[in-house]
Structure 1
Amino acid sequence: MKLLDRLLGRKATQLTYDQIAGLIDGTGGGTFAGMAITDKTALQVSTVLACVKAIADGCATPELRLYRRGADGKTKTLATDVPEYRLLTSRANEWQTAYEWRRQMTLHAALTGAGLSLKVRRDGSRAVRELIPVEPGRWDVRKISRYEVRYRCWDEFGLIGEFEPDDVFVLNGLQWGWVNSLNAVMLARSAIGLAMATERGQEAMQANGLRPSGVYSVEGTLNEEQHGRMTAWLKKRAGPGAAGEPLVLDRNAKWTSTGRSAVDSQTVETRRLQVEEICRCYSVFPIMVGHADKTAAFASSEAFFSAHLKHTLMPWHRAWTGRIDETVLDSEGPLFVQFDVRYLLAGSLRDRAMWARTMTEMGIYVRNEIRDEDGLDPLPGLDEPLTPMNMNGGKQPEGNGDDAPQV
């Protein structure tokens, strides 16, 4: 670019943060504290990355199970005989597994407000064969009438096409209207921008060896050459490599500090506060991104992990299952999906053993159901509930008394 500017006689100009943000492909959130905030630049903030990663992993790691509801409306069985089973549980498209696809879609939705995938249908059928995600900033939605919308998608090769709502899979985050979702980066731009500005300021202080700048004054008047030599000499004495070295002054020179240290600027407190602010924007507990204060004990940490599932992940799980049931499966039919989050709620081995014993002895669970909770296959003879002897009301079982298991 510099060579081309020389050949054409043009003067190179320095791009501003706004211009750089406009060149970055993606969705933007504006500027704050002099920082250009887009989905790409926001991911460079460690707290934002940790928050969206915690949400994306929480939606991709649990096993997504496809069930068929029984005629009584209460029982359910795994529906492994339908084409959508492999699509949703194993391989979403030619390049991605179901885990990778769910993780990417959740990342898009948590960061920019919505994630979109194109449906590739089977020949002569309404069944979906593949779900191909489209990057944020490369699709939009517009109304063509009061209650009719079209989705327009493109890539680096040009326009892909315009699609009806039935031809796309959309995972929405927080919505204000029924069409568009709120951009999470734009809503949190003040917290993200201040975090970026604080890191930039800390970077500048580290590059200067944490030594504040100041004024070097001497008696007399310096000409242009002396001023340049003095400035170059002072620059050599600055930086991390010269930290701690004595500064020898002559000509009755004086050094007057004009900057503030990191302690004076309360950089540590500011950065800690920004971690909490960004976590608040994404409804993620700070302990889930590795930020825990001194009051958090092991018992409270376990409670936070349970609260993370209930208050952070469950809304996203409901968004996932609702969208899949209505736009990928048969909608009003017996098929539906559920996330298996039992491993997220599992306690210690001792607590699980006490719970399993209590549930089986009370007759609430049969023993094969307990085995299923641990991912084990059922065994013959363990499908009958146990009946405690002190809870049978004094009635003797029919027959010789050996037909009903008792404890």
Structure 2
Amino acid sequence: MEIPFISKFIKAMDKPVENTLTSNYTYLFGPTTSGKLVNEFTAMQTSAVYSCVRILAEALASLPLHIYRYKEAGKERVYTHTLYHILHDEPNSEMSSFVFRETLMSHLLIWGNAYAQIIRDGAGRVVSLYPLLPNKVEVGRNSSGEIYYVYTPNAEENPHLKSYASYNLRRHEVLHIPGLGFDGLVGYSPIAMAKNAVGMTIATEEYGASFFANGANPGGVLEHPGVLKDPKKVRDSWNEVYRGSTNAHKIAVLEEGMKYQQIGIPPEEAQFLETRKFQINEIARLYRIPPHMVGDLEKSSFSNIEQQSLEFVKYTLDPWVIRWEQALQRSLLLPREKREYFIKFNVDGLLRGDYQSRMNGYSVGIQNGFLSPNDIRHLEDMNPIPEGEGGDFYIVNGNMTKLKDAGVFANKVRSE
């Protein structure tokens, strides 16, 4: 199956000329000072990285995503636009909107870039969106200054692309959401930028695993008063009986005057647990995740968890939301639509706070005339009060009046 708009481009321009491919940053991964290999897959095997990526990917994927039209007095949601169903329900026939956004967000958090192929109809309108793996995409600029993308799949990951063939995709055929970068064109991988911190996390996890694999005891020396003819046999027989977490705390029987001398530093003295905890906070700092969201409740309490959660939305999630919104508007809306429509996530539900705080805020809003009962019911996902029963009235507290009108009523009584 040919891709709309792509076949003509490939025939006219088999290979871009005078290009500079700038998106392949895999060389930034690799060995670290801890001696551990760090890449996108080994990083995700650590609980801290996996937890942070999952928190952000699921948070963004769960937000309502709508298309709005500008009005003279505000905005209105547009359900009839072709993009509404694609973004809100099904970007393609194989994925829900949640899975699609969760996948692209995980790409963005691991590789620093998220790509999706845009399938359009003859009028240029978006028909469907398919994710593209970032490590198989290269971004370039041809001699005329036009940005293009080269994608080389190696599996049946996209029904519109054949395997083991490079595809040149033009700018209007790719949804590209870049992360933090240095050239404004592509983003850098957070994992690659902080690979030493991730490598140390991997090293501490492996040390803990090997510690328990050795019976939760450090290494030691078997001392024999005489000369052993076959020391390897003695060592192997000791390991066979006492090595491993399942053999921990077994009673050792030493013969022929042998003694066991422990060497090495116990994990408590090496502050192993503190190191692991610090590395978890280090990864949480990398993704700007509050520690309590990755299971560290040491400095959390009932009085500050809510505030930390609100700060997570404002300072962590909101920048990602804006990055997504602007990329969607730039790539998916037609040029003639950009002045009339805009795409927006709804994060209001995450910022509402606890029930009592919301009710107190609504009470202030009604008494000061900037909220009606139906406004509040809409915010709380409740059906409106029927028309004619006062649900849309805006009222103010009658005990308050303008400063210049203070005493007018009393003067009027005296004159009468």
TM-score by length of 1: 0.85
CA contact (8 A) 1:27 1:137 kept: no
Q: Counterpart amino acid of 2:134?
A: P
2:225 to 211, 219, 231: 219
Q: Provide Cα deviations, 1:232-269, integer angstroms capped at 9, x if missing partner.
A: 22112322233222323233323222222211221100
Matched with 2:17 is none
CA contact (8 A) 2:124 2:334 kept: no
Distance apart, 1:292 and its partner CA: 1.9
Question: Once structures 1 and 2 are overlaid, which stretch shifts more, 27-36 or 306-315?
Answer: 27-36
CA contact (8 A) 1:27 1:38 kept: no
CA contact (8 A) 2:179 2:186 kept: no
Partners of 1:355 and 1:328 lie apart in 2 by: 37
Partners of 2:355 and 2:187 lie apart in 1 by: 43
TM-score by length of 2: 0.83
Unaligned runs of 5+ in 1: 1-25, 396-407
Distance apart, 1:323 and its partner CA: 0.8
Distance 1:375 1:87, change over 3 A: same
2:117 equivalent to 1:118: yes
**Number of aligned residue pairs:** 364
Q: Which runs of 4+ in 1 moved over 4 A?
A: 392-395
Q: Provide Cα deviations, 1:291-334, integer angstroms capped at 9, x if missing partner.
A: 221x3211100000000000100000000111111111235321
Partners of 2:296 and 2:45 lie apart in 1 by: 17
Distance apart, 1:338 and its partner CA: 1.6
Cα RMSD for the two superposed structures: 1.9
SS in 2 for 1:389: coil
Partners of 1:174 and 1:248 lie apart in 2 by: 60
Distance apart, 1:27 and its partner CA: 8.3
SS in 2 for 1:159: coil
Q: How does 1:307-346 map to 2 (within 5 A)?
A: 307-331=311-335, 332-346=338-352
Matched with 2:396 is 387
Matched with 1:296 is 300
Distance apart, 1:143 and its partner CA: 2.9
Distance apart, 1:146 and its partner CA: 7.5
2:58 equivalent to 1:53: no
Partners of 1:240 and 1:342 lie apart in 2 by: 49
Distance 1:27 1:134, change over 3 A: farther
Distance 1:273 1:146, change over 3 A: farther
SS in 2 for 1:233: helix
Unaligned runs of 5+ in 2: 1-25, 156-162, 407-416
1:281 to 282, 286, 290: 286
Matched with 2:269 is 264
CA contact (8 A) 1:171 1:319 kept: yes
Distance 1:184 1:114, change over 3 A: same
Q: Counterpart amino acid of 1:228?
A: K
Q: How does 1:363-382 map to 2 (within 5 A)?
A: 363-378=369-384, 379-381=386-388, 382=391
SS in 2 for 1:298: coil
Partners of 2:114 and 2:190 lie apart in 1 by: 12
Q: Counterpart amino acid of 2:399?
A: N
Distance 1:389 1:219, change over 3 A: closer
Q: Provide Cα deviations, 1:137-181, integer angstroms capped at 9, x if missing partner.
A: 121112324833321112222125111111100111111112221
SS in 1 for 2:135: coil
Distance apart, 1:227 and its partner CA: 2.4
Q: Provide Cα deviations, 1:209-230, integer angstroms capped at 9, x if missing partner.
A: 111211212133323xx32321
2:178 equivalent to 1:172: yes
Question: Once structures 1 and 2 are overlaid, which stretch shifts more, 362-371 or 80-89?
Answer: 362-371
